Structure 1
């Protein structure tokens, strides 16, 4: 007999017949729950039907009895025996009789206990949290197992990895011999706070640059206030002291997982080197070179990277110059203390990237991102104005001006020529190379044509306003002077641009238009352009650096420190036994010149000049997204990295009077074959080359005592020799 539990409630009338009994029971037991109780599921109600005698179909179709507000609603049975009694649905409940006597009804039904629901809900949250923690732990362990298995998995896919150079040379009998000094480049050395403003409370000796960059996200404006230098003195602002991190940790990793010197240091350690004979000459890379301090050491192999090559060139002149301007070491100091200088990816003659960075805070990738999402990088929405803030801060870093292209039109080319003219992105022959007649016919009257019948790239035109201007023959370009136009109100007079002040807000819109109407700028007048649009920055820059070519190096003016970082305005030390290496990657498209456009006048709060990413072309060169490319390491063109070792310093020249030996070591870029190789062991990219096994082996061999000749002399994969011969530099 199926039995149900019923709440104690109003008495049920006694049944007269089985039919009336069934009908009465159906009326009294309301299957619809009260408003405060959840509706039970269908399957539970099905179990409550009697199995002895099913109700007839007419009774099943009847509606349940409607309750009045004053009538207590019956509830569905609960599991507890204290809240109901066992009843037989086919018999009258206990306590009722045929005489109709009933028990008195209770005053009201007790409300359901909310505590139980809250308790169940709390336990549900704890249960969810436990599951979440379990998932995270399982995922962590899975990733750990996968990480441990990656080396074997990589070997299974690509074959066994070659032995690191340190292991290879140690097994061949090489040992640590010469102490080594590392000189990091721009932005790769860590900076920490020693004194700051109230907003930097708690950051004493914490990294502001490098590491996790956590403070950039937590307090970005405070971070910018401490990273920016004084716009007049070029030093830290009053009340702020930011200093370079000391030791090998200063530049072994830029951020977690992104190595700079770490792989080289590890391989040196495998060959026997220790921290006592490895020194990281960290410095505050934001400052001009004369405003930094260095310590002397024993005879070493110096290994500067990127801008560090310019810094070390300045150092070699500084240490031999008399005090107070120099270190007072005497004219033979370098000959006594330096065995070799191994320049890695050195921008010895500057980089075009520095021009676009100072002019519009752009490079190729930023220009593309700016075109895709202009509201993010330079919009006033949310007060971001990202590019404006970047320009405001970076223009206070005097060191960036050391990388403005040096040598003017003689090195970088003019309106009609450049050393790299004829370089092609791909060595594959163009299908239309043999069908040049129509293109010659089309362009011969207005554009200079290259050997393939296409417009010349004109790499010497570092900045061109418009693609047509970049391709026109020079005599067809209508250039208007810009330097004497200073009329009109400054941009800042008519609108407020918030905190994102730049020097563009101090010049008039007429002056901005005058720059664009000048059409073309070469390396010879790029400094004039920057003096016009950023006078305060260039006033400091001109007092610290020079970008020309010396007429007579015996002139006493070249004893001033501002010439020491320019290899065309200073001499190598008088050290005949010194070896100078130019080591850099090739085979990667590298920025060489730019096509610009002017932003609308309505966007006056934005930077008024921007790279024209719509400029694409079928010219002799590699025009993509408003940028012309040549061969290099993605940052430094081959001409800048290799010219001095190929020609300027090769043999006895006025720039190398003692005839110190120079060697070119090029590393052809080979990207990693799969993701498991990380950044690769054969990369030629500007930073990734630091993990190139071939380069590391070369450094270790020299550090162990080998000479450049024993190393194999020059190793060249590019056209640097031909390009160097085209440069009309007087030696």
Structure 2
């Protein structure tokens, strides 16, 4: 029976909610299977990846297009994972990364060619984690050259490399834009059947969801007065992530930045949740190469591209394909919860709609699910810093504006939506080019303001590296000067020799 992503899920949920919850939630302390012999696993194979439910395609269009150039289940495979698990527990329980490593090596052994890996959304984080795991002695023990040996390209579609901001209110209060913007009747029905408190409890008992808590802190997402993606006509900065219309500092309800919001989350949640998140993930920034190198030994850092590096694979090619131009959750207005029976202290202020605030949700730039800074920063700037990309991996970015067909429920061939983009015609064309070994033909296409926003992020190239580059440039210039001087000296000697010869001939 399918307990997620099928009509069976809805039937099980409606018939016996408590039983469904026992099966879908992991053990709160171990993050593994719940007690009682319950085992729920990710469906595998092409049939599991093509449609979410009947009629709602996911990978189907990409799989069909890949088939036109010769890809089928004999020379390609899907690597479905249980997104409820922390990344470390994917290996502990399912040996997921061991199996992925074996698949890639087997494909190389059969075809004699390197693999092209394709990820979408959270899958980008999973694959980034895998690159660290496969090289580490404590992981796959493949060595630093494994990726260069076995992987030709990584197609990173809509990768939430710095997390998804909507993940924080999901685990904080069981809410997000999708629930906040429901009409009053729908909200009443949802709360009666699956309350905010229950939703928050379910989300917290799925540590994989918390992998998408935002990374980079205030340096990336802004402070009380500023954010890198603020626009000139904006009244309130995005930097204040959790806002309270009526602040009361005596009770602790004050506007909070992303970094402060994470602290608030840990201070108001259970010990088991704090333990799961803080031992599995890290949300900071490594400002030096020494820090990055040290973090390669710490699996909790492996999902964070601001604390760890790309693989040492100079021949690897990364293609960042993502949508832009669809309003996306950026910050929120909260209020004190008025439900005396709820454990939740605060809830989204869904009654607040004014200016750019829609039912308590402030929208910014992105693909409708993941903010532009998360999908675009590393591809356009972060991975250009030496400490994050010491091998000089080549990266190309291709942005796709959201231009939906108003008569199509999925947006049509030019959608930039986070999920629907998988059916976009131009994305499928780009994937086919890379899969056919013609990725070098792709030209970069960056039409958003990500360049400007990324430049404002308070993450910089390391001073020591810049000083070393300056020394190298100076040595290079010095070498050029010495070369010119030596050349002039040789020329002068030649002229003197000729003059001496003329003088001797005259005598």
TM, length-normalised to structure 1: 0.58
Superposed displacement of residue 662, structure 1? 1.0
Deviation, 1:388, is 2.6
Query: Quick check: 2:23–2:38 contact (8 Å CA) kept in 1?
Result: yes
Distance 1:615 1:230 in 2: 37
Deviation of 1:587 (Å): 1.1
Aligned residue number for residue 641 of structure 1: 375
Preserved CA contact (<8 Å) 1:378 1:386:
yes
Alpha-carbon spacing, 1:520–1:247, altered in 2? closer, same or farther (3 Å): same
| Residue matched to 2:244 | 465
Q: Tell me what 2:81 maps to.
A: 283
Q: Which residue matches 1:617?
A: 354
Query: Larger % of helix: which?
Result: 2
Match of 1:221 in 2: 18
Match of 2:314 among 576, 599, 604: 576
Q: Is 1:208 matched up with 2:3?
A: yes
**Matched position secondary structure for 2:182:** helix
> Residue 374 of structure 1: CA displacement?
4.5
**Larger Rg belongs to:** 1
Tell me the equivalent position of 2:229: 420
* SS at structure 2 position matched to 1:398: coil
Match of residue 395 from structure 1: 204
Does 2:483 match 1:685?
no
Secondary structure at the aligned position of 1:308 is classed as: helix
- Which segments of structure 1 move beyond 4 Å, counting only runs of 4 or more? 370-374
Are the aligned partners of 2:365 and 2:372 in contact in 1 as well (CA < 8 Å)? yes
Whole-angstrom CA distance in 2 between matches of 1:599 and 1:699:
47
- Is residue 410 of structure 2 the alignment partner of residue 697 of structure 1? no
1:710 has 2:427 as partner: no
For the 8 Å contact 1:317–1:564, the answer to whether it is kept is yes
Task: Specify the SS of the correspondent of 1:378.
Answer: helix
Give the Cα–Cα distance (whole angstroms) in 2 for the partners of residues 237 and 272 of structure 1.
42
What corresponds to 2:472 in structure 1? Answer: none
Q: Describe how 1:404-415 pairs up with structure 2 within 5 A.
A: 404-415=213-224
Shift of the alpha carbon at 1:370? 6.9
Deviation at 1:678, TM superposition (A): 5.1
How many residues matched?
Answer: 438
Q: Does the residue aligned with 2:218 lie in a helix, a strand or coil?
A: helix
Provide, for residues 620-646 of structure 1, a one-character-per-residue CA deviation record: whole Å limited to 9, x for no partner.
xx3222111111110011111000011
Cα 1:376–1:603 change in 2 (3 A) is farther
Q: Per the alignment, do residues 344 and 673 of structure 1 end up closer, same or farther by CA in structure 2, a change over 3 Å counting?
A: same
Query: Of 433, 452, 474, which aligns to 1:722?
Result: 452
Tell whether the 8 Å contact from 2:121 to 2:160 is kept in structure 1 after alignment: yes
Q: How many angstroms apart in 2 are the aligned matches of 1:257 and 1:266?
A: 15
C-alpha deviation, 1:558, in angstroms: 4.4
CA distance in 2, matches of 1:553, 1:532: 32
Is 2:274 aligned against 1:538? yes
Deviation at 1:479, TM superposition (A): 4.3
CA RMSD for the aligned pairs? 1.9
Partner in structure 1 of residue 66 of structure 2: 268
Name 1:141's counterpart in structure 2. Answer: none
Q: Say whether the 8 Å CA contact 2:174–2:198 is kept in structure 1.
A: no
Instruction: Find the aligned partners of 2:149 and 2:252 in 1 and give their Cα distance.
Output: 50
SS at match of 1:302: strand
Residue by residue over 1:230-274, the C-alpha shift from the partner in whole angstroms, topping out at 9 and shown as x without a partner, is 010010112122112121122211111111100100011122211
Separation in structure 2 between the aligned mates of residue 720 and residue 557 of structure 1, nearest angstrom: 27
Instruction: Decide whether aligned partners of structure 1 residues 234 and 678 sit closer, same or farther in structure 2, where only a CA change above 3 A counts.
Output: closer
Unmatched runs of 5 consecutive residues or more in structure 1: 1-205, 423-450, 470-477, 481-513
Is the 2:295–2:308 contact (alpha carbons within 8 Å) kept by the matching residues of 1? Answer: no
Match status 1:664 vs 2:400: no
Q: Gaps spanning 5+ residues in structure 2: where?
A: 91-95, 109-113, 462-507
Separation of aligned partners in 2, 1:678 and 1:306:
18
CA displacement, residues 206-244 of structure 1 (integer Å, 9 cap, x when unaligned): 322223223223333212111100010010112122112
User: How far is 1:553 from its partner?
Assistant: 4.3
What does residue range 174-573 of structure 1 map to in structure 2 within 5 Å? 206-212=1-7, 213=9, 214-238=11-35, 239-292=37-90, 293-294=96-97, 295=99, 296=101, 297=104, 298=108, 299-322=114-137, 325-369=138-182, 371-379=184-192, 384-422=193-231, 451-452=232-233, 456-466=235-245, 479=249, 514-516=251-253, 519-535=254-270, 536-555=272-291, 556-573=294-311
Deviations 1:70-107 (A, max 9, x none): xxxxxxxxxxxxxxxxxxxxxxxxxxxxxxxxxxxxxx
CA gap of 1:340–1:710, structure 2 versus 1, over 3 A, is same
